[in-house]
Amino acid sequence: MNDPHLRHHEILTHRPEADTPRHATPLLFIHGAFTAAWCWEEHFLPFFARAGYTAHALSLSGHGTSPGRERLDSLSIDDYVNDVALTVASLPASPVLIGHSMGGFVVQKYLERQIAPAAVLMCSVPPQGLMSSAFGMMFSRPGLLKDLNNLMNGGTVALESLREALFAQPVGTEELTRFYRLAQPESHRALWDMSMFSLPRTERVQRTPLRVQGAEFDHLIPASLVSMTARTYGVDPVIFQGMGHGLMLERDWQQPAQDILDWLQASGL
């Protein structure tokens, strides 16, 4: 990474073994709010490396070990999009983009500017923004919304709130505690951008082939909003039964991973 902007950004990379047939198109994974590149290294990066893809996961500015934590609240969605654009420019070939939650929104905003070989939106903030999700949580899960606000401001939340936010399937207390320790605050500005100030121009996003995934028991981005995203882009949603918002961390993580792999291969990627 020669660009000074990216020199100190955290980018986790898994490459295929020497004897594994390689695909020419790399993958770039973009995390959601409150997390960083680590969420992809649990399962997805090694899975796709075994399948022959060079798989990268970027920690956006202010996340993980990337610079900018001290000015996190000033970071906008455009700042995150610039992180993605500079990372894409540093790779030897244009990657497939896979974005989760806020990362899916960032991917949509990037696709306003550039066409990618393909993109996957996992439990993504819809192009219509966060407001409908926030209002839904206000009435159905006010305690969870309060805890997310605490986390956004650097406060503490109960482990059970993290479980409720991310998981519908069993997860051990030790593993949940580790995820909690890796969680972090999020930029207020970015959340406002996703709510109303920086919504995607959907007609430009549609130029890139899209896969839209969601989860049956997602309390943050409900399956109904995932279906709305899919309708907006003229594709069919894939909703994983019995799973929650953290698709890449759930016990059955291989289901969404295999769906992406099958879709890429069917698309000639």
Residue pair 264/241 in contact by the 8 Å Cβ criterion: no
The pLDDT value recorded for residue 3 is 42
Q: For residue 153, what pLDDT band results from cuts at 50, 70 and 90?
A: low
* Structural domain of 188: 11-266
- SS3 of the chain: helix, strand, coil, percent, to 5: 45, 10, 45
Tokens 């500079």 identify what position? Answer: 86
Q: What are phi and psi of 66, to 5 degrees?
A: -70, 150
Report the predicted TM-score, pTM, of the whole model to 2 decimal places. Answer: 0.91
CA dist 126 and 180 (Å) reads 25
Which CATH number characterizes residue 229's domain?
3.40.50.1820
Residue 82: CB atoms within 10 A of its CB come to 16
Task: Give domain status of residue 64, yes or no.
Answer: yes
* 83 assigned to some structural domain: yes
In the structure encoding, which two tokens stand for residue 49, read together?
């490396």
Q: Within 13 Å and on the Cβ side, how many CA atoms surround 227?
A: 7
The answer to whether the CB of 63 falls within 8 A of the CB of 40 is: no
State the pairing for strand pair 210-215/237-240: parallel
CB 88 within 8 A of CB 109: no
Q: Judge whether 139 lies within some domain.
A: yes
- Is there a domain that residue 3 lies in? no
Tokens found for residue 86: 């500079």
| Residue 5 is assigned to a structural domain of this protein | no
Please indicate, yes or no, if residue 4 is contained in any of the structural domains: no
**What total of structural domains would you count in the chain?**
1
pLDDT digit string, tens, across residues 28-67: 999 999 999 999 999 999 999 999 999 999 999 999 999 9
| Within-domain flag for 256 | yes
Is there a contact between 14 and 45 (Cβ–Cβ < 8 Å)?
A: yes
**pLDDT tens across 214-232, in order?**
999 998 999 999 999 999 9
The mean pLDDT of the chain is 89
pLDDT digits (tens, 9 = 90+) for 56-102: 999 999 999 999 999 999 999 999 999 999 999 999 999 999 999 99
41 phi, psi to nearest 5 deg: -75, -20
Specify the pLDDT at position 152.
Answer: 54
Look at residue 133 and tell me if it is in a domain. yes
